Copies of this chain bind each other. A is one copy, B any other.
Amino acid sequence: MADGHVVALSGGVGGAKLALGLSRILPPDRLTIVANTGDDFTHLGLTICPDLDTVMYTLADLSNKEAGWGLAGESWNFLDALSALGGEDWFRLGDRDLATHITRTRWLAEGRSLSTVTGDLCRRLGVAHPIVPMSDDPVPTIVELKDGGDLAFQHYFVRDQCEPVVAGFRFEGIERAAPAAGFADALARSDLDCVVICPSNPFVSVDPVLKLPGVQAALDGSDAPVVAVSPIVGGQALKGPAAKMMDELGMPRDPVSVARHYAGRIDGLVIDEADLDSADLVREAGPAATVTQTVMVTLADREQLARDTLAFAASLRA
């Protein structure tokens, strides 16, 4: 393994698992975790950053591993009382989780950036590795529906349980948004070893990060390979609507579609043993490919996938 810097791009659950694995094998000064904030939204007057919080809670070892979101040992008394008041209870805000949202909303209102706020929250939760929002500017993901309408992302994802048929996505204001300084600085490091795209939804978790102004140019201008881990395993997304979205967008739900989606943007794709047969087709689509176990059940799985991914990236750099 080289001794340079690694940038990991992550959405929520699956991405956070690999980010955790990377954090277990790299010291804090060798890893920058960049979280998608396209799924951020304002709810009940609070600024809520679901992917960012999932990464933060996962690295703080506070996450609810069964649910895949929120905090372990969470209680729901606020939400029960809100329901009794007839409030909007479709987004499940736990009692302990609320402390994060209220603190963040207050700090943002004081004029601090989301990067600073995230850094402060991480410090207080004992997270040693830097977690950076992709941008300090709001870039809300809008889901464009096949029936012609638009949905704010969390309305699509949580309220409507991903049921509407999607036609596309846009990231509102992205042309005016800047990558957060911690993200841009990490990409510009002369000792950048590789960029890892964690197994997150390509359309709504990774694209917002990659499509921020200047990011693709920085990746193109760097010697560091960009390696993605396929979020599609055996025709399924382990979590979330990626496979359903592929159906609706007319793509076969396999790693080849992932490779094609990232064509020209990644140097290598890590695919699961279940998709061994797709390896050559992935390579034909552009990137190099490696096959390993990508399903992360145990902590050891997370560390092993992190090791395999970094080794694969090193092989591409060599």
Contact = CB atoms under 8 A, between A and B. Distances in A.
Contact of A99 (B71, B85, B99, B100): B85
Most buried by B among A77, A82, A87, A94: A77
Nearest to A75: B77
Contacts of A46: 102
A61 to B, nearest CB: 13
A67 interface: no
Interface in A93-143: 94-100, 102-103, 105-106, 109, 121, 124-125
Contacts of A94: 77
Interface in A22-60: 44-46
Q: Can you tell how many copies of this chain the complex includes? A: 2
A318 interface: no
A95 B100 CA distance: 14
Nearest to A109: B45
Interface of A is mostly: helix
Contacts of A121: 85
B98 A85 contact: no
Given A77-B95, A81-B97, A82-B99, 18 more contacts: A45-B45, A45-B106, A46-B102, A71-B81, A75-B75, A75-B77, A77-B96, A78-B95, A78-B96, A78-B98, A80-B96, A81-B95, A81-B98, A84-B99, A84-B125, A85-B99, A85-B103, A87-B102
